[in-house]
Amino acid sequence: MSERILDLRHVKVEFSTIDGVVEAVRGVNLHVIAGETVAIVGESGSGKSQLMMAAMGLLANNGKATGQVDYRGTNLLAISKSQLNDIRGAKITMIFQEPMTSLDPLYSIGDQLIEPIRKHQNLGEADARARAIEMLRLVRIPEPERRMRSYPHEMSGGQRQRVMIAMALANNPDLLIADEPTTALDVTIQAEILELMASLQQRLGMGMVFITHDLNIVKRIAHRVYVMRRGEVVEEGETAELFANPKHPYTKALLEAEPTGRKLPVAPNARKMIDATDVRVTFRLGGGFMSGPPLELRAVDRVSMTLRQGQTIGIVGESGSGKSTFARAVLRLLPSEGAISFENRPIQGLTREQMRPLRRELQIVLQDPFGSLSPRMTAGQIVTEGLLVHEPTISRAERDRRAVQALEEVQLDPSLRNRYPHEFSGGQRQRVAIARAIILKPKVVVLDEPTSALDRQVQKQIVDLLRDLQQAHQLSYLFISHDLAVVRAMADHIMVMKDGTMVEQGTPDEVMEHPREDYTRRLMAAAFAE
Amino acid sequence: MLRYVLRRFLTAIPTLFVIVTISFFLMRVAPGGPFNQEKGLNPVIKANLERVFHLDQPLWKQYLLYLNNLVHGDFGPSYNLPDFTVAELFAAGLPISIQLGGTALVLALLLGGILGITAALYQNKPADYAVIATATAGSTIPTFVIAPLFQLFFALTLKWFPVGGWGDGALINKVGPVLTLMLPQLAIVARLMRGSMIESLRSHHIRTARALGLSDYSVVIKHALRGALLPIISYAGPAAAALLTGSIIVETIFAIPGVGRYFVEAALNRDYTLVMGTVVVIAMFTIVFNLIVDILYAVVDPRVRYD
């Protein structure tokens, strides 16, 4: 039982770039025993993915791995490519984070499943097909015979990840390397995939390396953990032991980065900022000359909400549930039906020009801190752009003074204001986006997944910052997230959305501890399972 | 799919109509006419000629007359080559242009494709730099330089090939024109192929294929190349329409009796019917090849579905 199937010794990974040689992994020792699950945790850039890519011979062209990667006594770094091709896909396989793009869009699921089976097991077409269907059944794809003919774009992200798992396991490997396999999926799907992987691992008796930044997952499935930082393993140990007694300060910091705390509810008679009644958003798809009437899609169906001063309403739900659409409709960034008022003044009928003065009070911060900042403007220009519209009369010096003030408020060094977005880290970029919103002294801010693209530790800092700003300016937040741990820490009222309708609402404790709806219960079970 | 093809052919009719109408009137905006010569024609003869060809009628009548003839498949007589109808000129010249252009296109796609794939597989290595250098040279040296250089070295100095002429379609006469037509296309195809192949090789599903231990051949040809073909297909459609309808430079330098010369010559001579004939032929080729591109797209990529 204690045979090491994979043994990495002094593995280093280097990339030669135009800025010189970058060391991504600096001498890592790591091993996997047959049948065990090993987790590698660390933030983005810690080298955890590159380490395993190196072991699989999947580094980019400019990457180079040194050291020893022994698979049952064979050093994978020293053998020829065709020898390596006999091992990967057969004995060791890997699945990846991006379920949407990891399958070839041009071939059917069946073709893609059959190809590696035929290559490694020397089976005929019919036998390989039978094996492929068996694998689809194993990963619980409904109607596997029919699905063999489907193309990846005809399947959901969760189904594609199941197909990836089927492809990886079809040749009975000893070891499965999973690189953030559930990160891009909704929480409920995430839980299903994890459960599937754990049960398959037990059934097939294979070892598993699970690369993740999510400590909840580690706690749930791993026997042993390696914590990586800046290309090195800073701590390793049994999962329970490591969680109970972290030794390295970095591990401690990671564990403490879980969002904590609760928000106190606002007084029931606090000032109403936004009152939305029966909001409906309908998208029309297709239609037009020669193609018949358009298809109507109800993205939001009769959702009502009252947001009071100083309140944070969390909106949770899976992707496609209409959370973001609803929030945009409330800000009148999308055409909608139903009544919406801001500070007791109806705004639904206002024209674009009439809305403009209100815009400064209704701000939005988006998920993707890179995509939402213009790459051709400096941080200072980005932050002050709104002032040009809403306070065109103030001088350049005054604008600059306000920019400094706003950047200080989001705890970003104001001397960085002449830098461009690409020169900042993800967390810093999100601070710039927040500064751009608060410089206008808004009353309501929609936060659309503001922390989802960030590492846990950075996430915690942004959550703290948002709380401080709310305190200081009596801001009202509409906080959209699929991350329930963050919502629990931030919001004093939660709305659960599914398929465009609100299925449940209440205080965090009501919704999270005593969910009434089955859907909410599943969402919670998936997010907080121990 | 069949319905889609049918619909595309039906929408081609109004497209052609608009092209014919615009060209007809644009051409008449230009001063002069087919019988204005430097020497000056006897006014009586000129008037007679114009009456024969209905050029004395009001413009709108001429337009309707031309449309009527066109619908009946009659492109009319050529004004400057009075022994031939426009249809006869194309019947004689078009097969020659198609042969040369078609051969050049097929060779450019094959060789350019292979060069591009090779460059992508050896990115930033000597083979890659060699392809880039060839491609840059091929697309920057103009045809009217390549053709005379070919004649100078291979025809006049080495005497391997004739300097020009069609020679009733002898293979040896085609080498020069085909090479000259091919080189710039080959350069473009190689560059396109290299770029799209590099992108394709970087995609996530290629990483998956490698992780599953598939052979290099399968990874490169079956998975990477198919995805990389799409930009090549979209380029090849309009390129085919342009190549098959002849090139004035190549046909003039090599003295080839194709149809490439007609467009410019006819326009200079105000040979109205020949210009219109050329416009209609080029438009039809363009429409047909764009349709072929769209069909090939659906064949290569299952995500593309019409109807």
The one-letter code for the residue type at B208 is T
Place of tokens 């139903």: A338
Report whether pLDDT(B170) > 90.
Answer: no
The pLDDT > 90 percentage for chain A reads: 53
- Sorted by sequence, the CB contacts under 8 Å of residue B117 that are 6+ apart come out as B193, B194, B197, B220, B225
SS3 label, residue A48: helix
- Decide: A475 and A444 in contact? Cβ < 8 Å: yes
Structure tokens at A31: 């091993």
Model-level pTM greater than 0.80? no
Option in A61, A85, A98 nearest B213 (CB): A85
At A287 the pLDDT is 59
What is the chain A residue with the closest CA to B11? A290
- Decide: A438 and A406 in contact? Cβ < 8 Å: yes
Q: Which segments of A194-253 are extended strands (E)?
A: 207-212, 224-229, 232-238
Q: Is A308 on the interface with B (CB under 8 A)?
A: no
Torsion of CA B163, B166, B167, B169, to 10 degrees: 130
- Decide: A319 and A303 in contact? Cβ < 8 Å: no
Q: How many angstroms separate the CA atoms of A333 and A356, rounded?
A: 11
Q: How many angstroms separate the CA atoms of A316 and A319, rounded?
A: 9
- Decide: B279 and B19 in contact? Cβ < 8 Å: yes
Q: How many angstroms separate the CA atoms of A161 and A140, rounded?
A: 11
SS3 label, residue B79: coil
CB burial readout A401-422, b (16+ within 10 A) else e: ebbeebbebbebebebbeeebe
Beta-carbon-side half-sphere exposure of residue A232 (alpha carbons within 13 Å) = 6
User: Mean pLDDT for chain A?
Assistant: 88
Per-residue pLDDT tens for A411-423?
889 988 888 888 8
In this prediction, residue A278 has a pLDDT band, given cuts at 50, 70 and 90, of very high
Residue A120: list chain B partners with CB under 8 A.
213
Per-residue pLDDT tens for B182-193?
999 999 999 999
pLDDT, average across residues A136-142? 89
- Phi and psi, residue A30, nearest 5°: -155, 145
- Phi and psi, residue A439, nearest 5°: -65, -25
SS3 label, residue A484: helix
Residue A164: list chain B partners with CB under 8 A.
208
At B270 the pLDDT is 85
Return the number of CB contacts < 8 Å for A and B.
83
CA-closest candidate to residue A39, choices A200, A185, A251: A251
Helix H or strand E segment including B46? helix B43-52
Best of A71, A104, A109, A290 to mutate (most B CBs within 10 Å, chain B): A104
Distances (CA, A) of A82 to A78, A173, A184, B213, B216: 12, 18, 32, 9, 9
pLDDT, average across residues A464-488? 90
Contact B210 A88 (CB under 8 A): yes
Structure tokens at A71: 């698979």
Report whether pLDDT(A1) > 60.
Answer: no
In this prediction, residue A269 has a pLDDT band, given cuts at 50, 70 and 90, of confident
Report whether pLDDT(A440) > 80.
Answer: yes
Per-residue pLDDT tens for A195-215?
888 888 888 889 999 998 888
Place of tokens 């999308």: A334
Partners of A38 in beta bridges: A209, A224
Q: Is A150 on the interface with B (CB under 8 A)?
A: no
Per-residue pLDDT tens for B113-141?
999 999 999 988 899 999 999 888 888 89
Beta-carbon-side half-sphere exposure of residue A152 (alpha carbons within 13 Å) = 21
Report whether pLDDT(B7) > 90.
Answer: no
List, in order of start, the domains of chain B with CATH numbers.
94-264+284-300 (1.10.3720.10)
CB burial readout B119-129, b (16+ within 10 A) else e: bbbebeeeebe
Strands A37-41 and A295-308: unpaired
Best of B4, B122, B205, B304 to mutate (most A CBs within 10 Å, chain A): B205
Per-residue pLDDT tens for A284-319?
876 555 556 677 888 899 999 999 999 999 999 887
The one-letter code for the residue type at B124 is N
Q: Is A116 on the interface with B (CB under 8 A)?
A: yes
**Backbone φ/ψ region at B32: left (φ over 0), alpha (ψ -120 to 50), beta:** left
At A288 the pLDDT is 57
Per-residue pLDDT tens for B34-81?
777 666 778 888 888 888 888 888 888 889 988 988 888 888 888 877
The one-letter code for the residue type at A510 is E
Distances (CA, A) of B137 to A90, B132, B134, B198: 46, 8, 5, 21
Distance, CA of B231 to chain centre: 18
